[in-house]
Amino acid sequence: MNDAWRALPAAQQPEWPDGGAVDDAIRELRTYPPLVFAGECDALKTKLAAVARGEAFILQGGDCAETFNGVGADALRNKLRTLLQMSVVLTYAGSVPVVKLGRIAGQYAKPRSKPTETRDGVELPAYRGDAVNGYDFTAASRVPDPSRLLRMYHSSAATLNLARAFVSGGEADLRQMHAWNTDFVRDSPVGKRYEQIGRDIDKAIAFMAACGANPSVFHTVDFYSSHEALLLDYELAMTRIDSRTGTPYDTSGHFLWIGERTRQLDGAHVEFARSLRNPIGVKLGPTTTPEDALALIERLDPDREPGRLTFITRMGAGVVRDRLPELVEKVTASGASVAWICDPMHGNTFETPSGYKTRRFDDVIDEVQGFFEVHRALGTHPGGVHVELTGDDVTECVGGGFALAEADLVHRYESVCDPRLNRSQSLELAFLVAEML
Ligand code: PEP
Ligand code: MN
């Protein structure tokens, strides 16, 4: 394992307390079994290679920040159902396989734009995710606690175990997912608009049934976990040498991404990810230059391995049509083959006068639309979407079929970090993306 990253600056790391507790936690983590297997990461890489070739689409979604208290069967089932329902619509509309990737089972650490948070004149360290400190606004809760890294592992393990059971144990049945979409179309104020797609999927399913087709893929799906590889202590402790190939895989999740705030070319995160064999994503915000993108390819995918590298662009609805074309054009001209996916959330966040962080559903859709337009114009493949969502009826993003207003945010704002699309907004997004496909 290449250790060069240790000498480089690592952004966004917690200031763990002195006294060796973090070393104890790391030592303990090293004795735990892997959460995912290297062979599964390779299988995902093969699917992402198909995305890069234009033969598949990625749906990546889940909470901005998972919480330890949120590890429960109901919330996970609702989230998975929502993702699977969305993927039925996208599979039908795109007539291509949809790679299902959760921001699930490991998304416990958050980069922050400011190191502290001030409320009513009191300034405390910022909340950095349940993996680091507590969300409660007290000095004690905001102290980084290394024992949280162990809880991160156990919470990830419990979540992944349940997710694996859900997707292989009948919960993922295609007809059931479609039946729930039919309910959505019937009950949503904007459902009329999607009746045609719903009817077409009905017909396709009836046709397959009439032909006697009943393959296992109608009842189970492949589902993969992903999170931002932010806390290098944790990610390194979960990195193991694959016995088949003798190469290192970070076994904390199948797919790991590097965030907009930690993608410095001379920083520790890029160098660390370079040494892994997992498929890797990098977020690219509006200040990314083509040279940055090409240098990231050189660092992270020097062998041009199909499926290795995914660029997750998050430009903002207002600038995606200006900033994205040059990146896609120069990367494509270089001969590199990456998967491009659109994160329409992180470039569209704003704060309401009442102090809620929110996003407009229309901006989210507009960024996806811009992303499709740019790729269509260049003849490249709009490879997928990356969204922050939940399967519950929260009120965190404004707009959508039920026309949530800023005044509604107070009713059910549960995110500890960024605002998520609720179930209905998520399904509506899937139908709108289906129309773009
Ligand atoms: C996120 O995905 O929650 C996030 C912080 O994104 P970004 O790195 O793109 O800002
Ligand atoms: Mn977020």
Q: Report pLDDT digits (tens) over 381-412.
A: 999 999 999 999 999 999 998 999 999 999 99
What pLDDT sits at residue 177?
A: 84
In the chain, the number of structural domains is 1
Given a contact cutoff of 8 angstroms between Cβ atoms, the answer to whether 57 and 371 are in contact is: no
SS3 116: strand
Given a contact cutoff of 8 angstroms between Cβ atoms, the answer to whether 257 and 225 are in contact is: no
SS3 273: helix
Most ligand 1 atoms within 8 A of CB, residue of 60, 63, 314 to mutate = 314
Among all bound ligands, the one having the nearest atom to the CA of 230 is 1
CATH number of the domain to which 335 belongs: 3.20.20.70
Question: What is the number of other CB atoms lying within 10 angstroms of the CB of residue 214?
Answer: 10
How many A from CA of 350 to the centre of ligand 1? 14
Q: Is 193 exposed, middle or buried (0-12, 13-18, 19+ CB in 10 A)?
A: middle
Given a contact cutoff of 8 angstroms between Cβ atoms, the answer to whether 47 and 307 are in contact is: yes
What pLDDT sits at residue 409?
A: 97
Residue 418 CA: nearest ligand 1 atom is 3
Tell me how far apart the alpha carbons of residues 148 and 132 are, in angstroms, rounded to a whole number: 6
Most ligand 1 atoms within 8 A of CB, residue of 110, 228, 284 to mutate = 228
Angle between helices 361-378 and 423-436 in degrees, nearest 10: 20
The C-alpha angle with vertex 272 and arms to 269 and 277, in degrees rounded to 5, equals 125
Task: Ligand 1: list residues with CB < 6 Å.
Answer: 64, 111, 259-261, 283, 314, 346, 418
How many A from CA of 65 to the centre of ligand 2? 7
What pLDDT sits at residue 394?
A: 97
What pLDDT sits at residue 205?
A: 86
Residue 260 CA: nearest ligand 1 atom is 8
Nearest residue (CA) to ligand 1, atom 9: 260
Distance from chain centroid for Cα 262: 16
Among all bound ligands, the one having the nearest atom to the CA of 113 is 1
What pLDDT sits at residue 182?
A: 84
Nearest residue (CA) to ligand 1, atom 2: 64
Residue 382 tokens read as 């709009």
Give the position of tokens 């990546």: 60
Among all bound ligands, the one having the nearest atom to the CA of 420 is 2
Among all bound ligands, the one having the nearest atom to the CA of 284 is 1
Q: Which domain holds residue 237?
A: 4-436
10-residue averages of pLDDT along the chain (437 residues): 86 94 96 98 98 98 98 94 93 93 98 95 98 98 98 98 90 83 85 84 87 82 96 97 96 98 98 97 98 98 97 98 98 96 98 96 98 98 98 96 94 97 95 93
Most ligand 1 atoms within 8 A of CB, residue of 60, 101, 226, 261 to mutate = 261
Q: Report pLDDT digits (tens) over 230-240.
A: 999 999 999 99
Tell me how far apart the alpha carbons of residues 117 and 136 are, in angstroms, rounded to a whole number: 12
Residue 300: which of 344, 323, 267, 341 has the closest Cα?
267
Given a contact cutoff of 8 angstroms between Cβ atoms, the answer to whether 383 and 57 are in contact is: yes
Residue 111 CA: nearest ligand 1 atom is 5
What pLDDT sits at residue 180?
A: 84
List all residues 6 or more positions away from 281 whose beta carbon is below 8 Å from its beta carbon.
226, 255, 256, 257, 258, 309, 310, 311, 312, 341
- Whether ipTM > 0.95 holds is yes
Distance from chain centroid for Cα 13: 20
Tell me how far apart the alpha carbons of residues 361 and 94 are, in angstroms, rounded to a whole number: 22
Q: Report pLDDT digits (tens) over 259-310.
A: 999 999 999 999 999 999 999 999 999 999 999 999 999 999 999 999 999 9
Those residues whose beta carbon sits under 5 angstroms from the ion ligand 2 are 64, 418
Tell me how far apart the alpha carbons of residues 47 and 57 are, in angstroms, rounded to a whole number: 9
Given a contact cutoff of 8 angstroms between Cβ atoms, the answer to whether 276 and 258 are in contact is: no
Residue 262 CA: nearest ligand 1 atom is 8
How many A from CA of 354 to the centre of ligand 2? 20
How many A from CA of 417 to the centre of ligand 2? 7
List all residues 6 or more positions away from 433 whose beta carbon is below 8 Å from its beta carbon.
90, 93, 368, 385
Pairing label, strands 309-313, 339-342? parallel
Nearest residue (CA) to ligand 1, atom 1: 64
Residue 65 CA: nearest ligand 1 atom is 3
Torsion of Cα atoms, 145 then 146 then 148 then 150, to 10° = -160
Q: pTM for the complete prediction?
A: 0.96
Nearest residue (CA) to ligand 1, atom 4: 259
Nearest residue (CA) to ligand 1, atom 10: 260
Tell me how far apart the alpha carbons of residues 414 and 46 are, in angstroms, rounded to a whole number: 36
Question: What is the number of other CB atoms lying within 10 angstroms of the CB of residue 124?
Answer: 18
Tell me how far apart the alpha carbons of residues 220 and 199 are, in angstroms, rounded to a whole number: 23
Whole-Å CA distances, 300 to 39, 259, 269, 292, 376: 20, 14, 11, 12, 26
Tell me how far apart the alpha carbons of residues 15 and 146 are, in angstroms, rounded to a whole number: 10
Tell me how far apart the alpha carbons of residues 66 and 247 are, in angstroms, rounded to a whole number: 30
State the DSSP string of 1-18: ---GGGGS--TT---PPS
How many A from CA of 363 to the centre of ligand 2? 16
Residue 228 CA: nearest ligand 1 atom is 2
